[in-house]
Structure 1
Amino acid sequence: MEKETGRHIKAVRSDRGGEYTSMAFMEYCEEKGIRRFLTAPYTPQQNGVVERKNRTILDMVRSMLKSKKMPKEFWAKAVQCAIYEKEENGKVISKLVKKVEEGVEKENDLLMEIDALVNELVKEEKDIEMLTQQRDSLDVNLNRVQQETVNLRYTIEILTPDKVEMEEAKMEVENVIVDL
């Protein structure tokens, strides 16, 4: 970050996470002349900058999910999108360099845009709706065929008093319907 911005880090304020309390990190800070401030345990309110950024990201996530009417299952992806948008729009990462501290290029393909998620969800809903309509149409057609079968059987029974002829007629009608 120092090379990117041209500014020297004077102090680091952090929670008591293992990566900030390790001997290696302490030695690095002493070597570079960086002062360390550790917050009290279980009091994230002491780190106001981080809390404001977290609140901003959470507000963005809620706004994305609500505006696109998406279920809570997409929360994690929406958080990724919000963080990515905040970094790009807030110029947290230099647009010229576009590299993380270690020099590894950002993997933009891992972060999906919220609109892509919505489009996928809408496509799935339309597919489900289409299948439901097809099923309903098949149900209506099947009911119509069954009703016509019953009507044909009833008509044959009325017209044919002889039992033998009636059984043969039923078989013929059933065979015709099966062939359809």
Structure 2
Amino acid sequence: MGYGWYDRLPRITDLRFEIDKGGETLVLGGSDLPGIDSGTVERLDLVLTISGPAPETLHIPAPVAIEYDDGLFWSFEEANILLAAPTAVTPAELVDLLDGACFCASDDREADSWDTQHDRFLLDAQEMATRLLLGDEAALLERLRAVLAYRTQWFVPEGSRFVAVIGREAMDLRIERVSASS
């Protein structure tokens, strides 16, 4: 009694993704996990079913969908990332989405603090996102850049820079003075 108006409000009763890939239409939603390999698909729509006085189904083009089920104890690396286009999101945007969808500190309780686990997750997610969106070489460079920034950049002397040439068999390192205008 007194809530009839509330019961008549439109509400979302179903939420899923419809995916066209390789000539077939697949559904990702609820317990449906089609197991599509990460990458670009022909069509990626968020489908909302809305109940109420005028029931309707809305198809909204989606830039990205992440198939991930922590209930099945998937590791983050097992997530399938589906993209409407290679330019649908940036690596940074995809890292944010992966963080929200896949990070769980309790998955690795014995490893370290929440902050350390999260930092490691973000480093791995950045590599995964860069590899998927920009390729293997860009991912390798991004990972090296992140490791150097975290491990070495803080001890470069003021007014100096390290220069490194790193090969499979040898490494050349030197310190150079930097002019104030550099």
Classify the TM-score, shorter chain. Answer: under 0.3
Q: Which has more helix, going by share of residues?
A: 1
Please say which structure displays the higher CA radius of gyration.
1
TM-score (norm 2): 0.22
Q: TM-score, normalised by structure 1?
A: 0.23
